[in-house]
Structure 1
């Protein structure tokens, strides 16, 4: 797909920047849906391990409840992609949110551990349905020159909801350990209703911005843009969950000798930095290109990860996490926009496989990083993510250059 974020107008090679267009209704609605989904998810996460322990099980069983959600997302993703292509994004999105809402309410009523594990797995399937349908709809209804901004706004909904969720969850936990699960079900109900009502009659693009039809998946899979996006998403999942999410808390306690609560403070500050960077990242991805964003952002993120195990002060770690957060704003927007460019109009299967790579990285990453930490050291564990992050620019350099006018 060729796209022109800048146009030549007038004589003598004059260059004009196209006027800033507002984000479409679908993008605004999906950003709101993402906020309510992540708000509820953030409410549940802090109390989930404690709630699982109340069933008299060990820490292995606690980990299984956390992992089964991601595992079922991974397993369900390819089937969800085909379902989206068959019956449409809006129905799959609302159905997925409904499944997560019902399963979350039932988690609060679970009688024993097996029920709890089964219900969390069902929630993972619903989460896959929502996330694949939402991203497919976002890419389908957004013209190429607005995809970066649109993805950034959508991810911003997740980040803001994720920042607010834990604070609300802490308050609800003082009521009871089950209250957050019912609150989660309520926020999901709001998100599902918002999607069903506000996304009715979604359009693709205006007649002057027609997108090409969806490419067959076998063709998309051979596209260098899509290949780079798959590796980018896998590396991001590995780095964010396998290294940053799993090892930074251990680093704060065991190397910096600080209370575990400081991890939450550091992550919150970094999340704010990432949220603030999303809008500029989206504009960069749309105006300069997906390829330049990936060529620059992934090495910056790799350097930040490489520095983390060597910091000796908490404030330095927070600065490094903020650098990673700013880079992560590009890591999320550029590959997703590249998927939309490669897949064309309706590409549910392409989006599903793309999102499955992040889930795979989030599952395998913590295991490999933890094993490397046990066998070697923090630098070796963080290095596993650094290697992946540095492989992305190599593949991104093979992407076709976006055509644009001179700046």
Structure 2
């Protein structure tokens, strides 16, 4: 097996385990937060907690990992995530849970930024979409598997139980990094330095900016709508149990997985832009349709369509790697991760502001707002360049 593929498989399996643990938490987190008798807005702030620490640390993590490339950053990040899950599991009040999720963001920023850079450095350019697609696909396979188990554990053993599962799988992942990941295999541009000019160059590049905008709005939808408002909608409007909610979210993630890897592989030949554009436009339309669900079946169908649409954006990380100059890759990937996590931070805060403070049904407003901003970001891609498509003889 070639070294690049072996490295990608190791990173991908670790990503699966981490996201499996995270997936067990997804369906119960808003409900767990409400057990501390807080408002919906505070629930939104809680879901945003890990994202704000990622926003602060993504850029430094990308720069340091690119320059040094040692596995201790990945290992340290995973150990921090495991500790944060334990804090959350044994939280005695809202503020302790908030601290746990904030610490989780610190570990995630360190680990995932290094993982993206490692694959970007080792994957052959002609197969970059396929390698990153495999990495992201297995992350989503973990997300696919997690919610049902999280719902079952939450219902049988209490809403704090899934956090213990999360901690266990993260510790297993840390052991795999320690024993299987070679520090040399993820070493970046050792002597490279990152300054303000490199960062401003990244923001002046229209294609990189439009790709980052797409990731930003997708993250708003994932964190603000799917992770925060959809569970509340499912319980309040449709009367679903946590197990039914977990099953629907698992089905959605499954369709995400089904479209993600083929789209990522095809993007190596057909270009990145068609898939990212389709994901944003189609995803925005489907998101606005969620309030039309009237029972578990229609809810599951719409969420499955949304998962499929979002999976088409699997090559977005490869798009950044295609466009960014090699010396600027660390900074560009740091900005890329920052924009995604910034969307995850502000998404729950923005979208929960559109729902009533009472315990009644969720209205259509947050779904329409999320759908609109996702579709608009898709239109911003129209003038963007697509190096892969150009090399294949297509139009930019």
TM-score normalised to structure 2 length: 0.82
The 5 A counterparts of 1:27-38 are 27-38=8-19
The 5 A counterparts of 1:1-400 are 24-45=5-26, 57-60=36-39, 65-88=46-69, 90-108=71-89, 115-169=96-150, 174=156, 180-200=162-182, 202-203=184-185, 216-256=198-238, 258-259=240-241, 261-312=243-294, 314-331=296-313, 333-345=314-326, 347-374=329-356, 378-400=363-385
**Rg larger in structure:** 1
Distance in 2 of aligned mates of 1:51 and 1:316? 26
Distance in 1 of aligned mates of 2:110 and 2:316? 20
Change (3 A) 1:328 1:189: same
Q: CA deviation at 1:328?
A: 0.7
Return 273-282 or 256-265, whichever deviates more: 256-265
Are the counterparts in 2 of residues 301 and 327 from structure 1 also a CA contact under 8 Å?
A: yes
Distance in 2 of aligned mates of 1:321 and 1:106? 31
Q: Give secondary structure in 1 for the equivalent of 2:390.
A: coil
Distance in 2 of aligned mates of 1:170 and 1:260? 5
Distance in 1 of aligned mates of 2:236 and 2:96? 35
Residue segments in structure 1 that go unaligned for 5+ positions in a row:
1-20, 206-212
Change (3 A) 1:120 1:305: closer
Q: Give secondary structure in 2 for the equivalent of 1:84.
A: helix
Distance in 1 of aligned mates of 2:320 and 2:100? 32
TM-score normalised to structure 1 length: 0.80
Match in the other structure for 2:390? 403
| Per-residue deviation, residues 219-248 of structure 1 (Å, max 9, x unmatched) | 232222211111011110112222233333
Change (3 A) 1:258 1:166: closer
Distance in 2 of aligned mates of 1:85 and 1:322? 36
Residue segments in structure 2 that go unaligned for 5+ positions in a row:
none
Are the counterparts in 2 of residues 140 and 340 from structure 1 also a CA contact under 8 Å?
A: no
Are the counterparts in 2 of residues 78 and 349 from structure 1 also a CA contact under 8 Å?
A: yes
Q: CA deviation at 1:364?
A: 1.9
Q: CA deviation at 1:117?
A: 3.8
Q: CA RMSD of the aligned region, Å? A: 3.4
Q: How many pairs were matched up?
A: 377
Q: CA deviation at 1:128?
A: 1.0
Change (3 A) 1:109 1:23: same
Distance in 1 of aligned mates of 2:175 and 2:266? 33
Are the counterparts in 2 of residues 294 and 392 from structure 1 also a CA contact under 8 Å?
A: no
Change (3 A) 1:143 1:40: same
